[in-house]
Amino acid sequence: MSDLTTQQRPTRQRSALLEALANCHDFISAQDLHARMTAEGTRIGLTTVYRGLRDLEAADAVDVIQASAGERLYRWRPGDSHRHYLICRACGSSRPVDSEVVEEWAGRIASDSGFAAVEHTVELTGVCAGCQPATE
Amino acid sequence: MSDLTTQQRPTRQRSALLEALANCHDFISAQDLHARMTAEGTRIGLTTVYRGLRDLEAADAVDVIQASAGERLYRWRPGDSHRHYLICRACGSSRPVDSEVVEEWAGRIASDSGFAAVEHTVELTGVCAGCQPATE
DNA sequence: CTTGTTGCAAATTCTTTGCATGACA
DNA sequence: TGTCATGCAAAGAATTTGCAACAAG
């Protein structure tokens, strides 16, 4: 179960899911991803999308953020590079941010507090340049 | 609406909600808070609890974190002091953490990126000393 | 009396699960 | 042929809204 060598068949749906996600450079919800794939002609069930995303999350291949009402947004993570993003509240676009400082800080908190297995979630939101009202 | 002087009647339920929340020194869900109040003899509707918490959130009187499945947890914020916490995944207890470093970092990201109105969410979770297995 | 508040029930939204069919090795 | 994956439909969970009765000023 925790074994990465667990057999996993490369199916049409799984490939399509990976491709769709890789082509999407912003965070997207399972529902939206399914809708987009369907619109593009890929026949795939919503359940399969959810399952695929869950697997990718378990494999640490995607970054995940919590949207408002329990909705989760996923974003493909190329390599092991980024984990934290700055997201535009208006258009939804996201850009990775350098979070070294925060990583360090989290590590320090962990050792100072006596807590074990400390994990952190950091979400930055704002309004990107393109979405800001022209009004001064 | 954004006016703090907006009339708001001090009702029995609202006072009870505030008191229950102030007496609870950890994060708690709307459902649990309602259950606890009911168990203590306070007659209040679940809807009213949700509405009260929503108002408190809007007034910045509580800190909010996202639990797993779209569940939101609330914690009374005395004064304007703390905003970030380290939460035990095992027992749910929380302790405020010094987040000055993160505040600064977030501010720098904001100015560097060209984003406006940048807000940040930071959640730290771990296993507190009391919940760690005696093993080792 | 007038207006905001309450609370039950129904509706919404996102996500997960049961189970029979279908595909890959 | 034997598994694992798929996907429909139903279940589950948390939160929000409609609306009539109620309480405060």
pLDDT cut 70: percent of chain B above it: 91
Shortest distance between the Cα of B88 and any Cα of chain A, in A, equals 8
- A113: three-class secondary structure by DSSP: helix
Q: Which residues of A touch B105 (CB under 8 A)?
A: 101-102, 105
Chain A interface mutation, best of B66, B100, B104, B136, highest count of A Cβ atoms under 10 Å: B66
- Any atom of strand C under 7 A from CB of B18? no
- pTM for the model stands at 0.81
Confidence of residue A4 (pLDDT cuts 50, 70, 90): very low
Residues of A with CB under 8 A from a CB of B: 66, 69-71, 86, 88-89, 95, 97, 101-102, 105-106, 109-110, 113-129, 132
C-alpha torsion sign, points A60, A62, A66, A70: negative
Q: Is the pLDDT of residue A13 over 60?
A: yes
Confidence of residue B48 (pLDDT cuts 50, 70, 90): very high
User: Residue A22 burial by CB count (10 A; 0-12/13-18/19+): exposed, middle or buried?
Assistant: exposed
pLDDT at res. A89: 85
The nucleotides of chain C lying under 7 Å from a protein CB are 4-9, 13-18, 23-25
> In this structure, what token pair is assigned to residue A123?
């979400």
| pLDDT, average across residues A118-129 | 90
pLDDT cut 90: percent of chain B above it: 48
Q: Which residues of B touch A127 (CB under 8 A)?
A: 115-117
CATH of region B1-79, choose from 3.40.50.720, 3.40.50.11290, 1.10.10.10, 3.40.640.10: 1.10.10.10
Confidence of residue B7 (pLDDT cuts 50, 70, 90): low
Query: pLDDT tens-digit profile of B91-101?
Result: 888 988 988 89
A128 is in an annotated binding site: yes
Q: What is the CATH number of domain B81-129?
A: 3.30.1490.190
Shortest distance between the Cα of B126 and any Cα of chain A, in A, equals 4
Between residues B7 and A50, the one the model is more confident about = A50
Task: Please list, in sequence order, all residues whose beta carbon lies within 8 angstroms of the beta carbon of residue A36, skipping any fewer than 6 positions away.
Answer: A20, A24, A28
pLDDT at res. A108: 92
Distance CA A90, CA A132 (A): 9
Write b or e for each residue in B93-116: b if 16 or more Cβ atoms lie within 10 A of its Cβ, otherwise e: ebbebebebbeebbeebbeebebe
pLDDT at res. A79: 73
Strands B116-127 and B85-88: parallel
Q: Is the pLDDT of residue A18 over 90?
A: yes
pLDDT at res. A68: 74
pLDDT at res. A69: 74
B34 is in an annotated binding site: no
Highest mean pLDDT among A56-65, A103-112, B28-37, B91-100: B28-37
Confidence of residue A1 (pLDDT cuts 50, 70, 90): very low
Shortest distance between the Cα of A130 and any Cα of chain B, in A, equals 9
B24 is in an annotated binding site: no
In contact, B73 and B29? CB cutoff 8 Å: yes
In contact, A64 and A74? CB cutoff 8 Å: yes
β-strand partners of B85: B96, B123
- Any atom of strand D under 7 A from CB of B86? no
pLDDT at res. A135: 55
Proportion of chain A in helix, strand, coil states, percent, rounded to 5: 40, 25, 40
The ranges assigned to domains in chain A are: 1-79, 81-129
Q: Which residue is nearest to nucleotide D8 (CA to C1')?
A: A45
pLDDT at res. A134: 63
Confidence of residue A3 (pLDDT cuts 50, 70, 90): very low
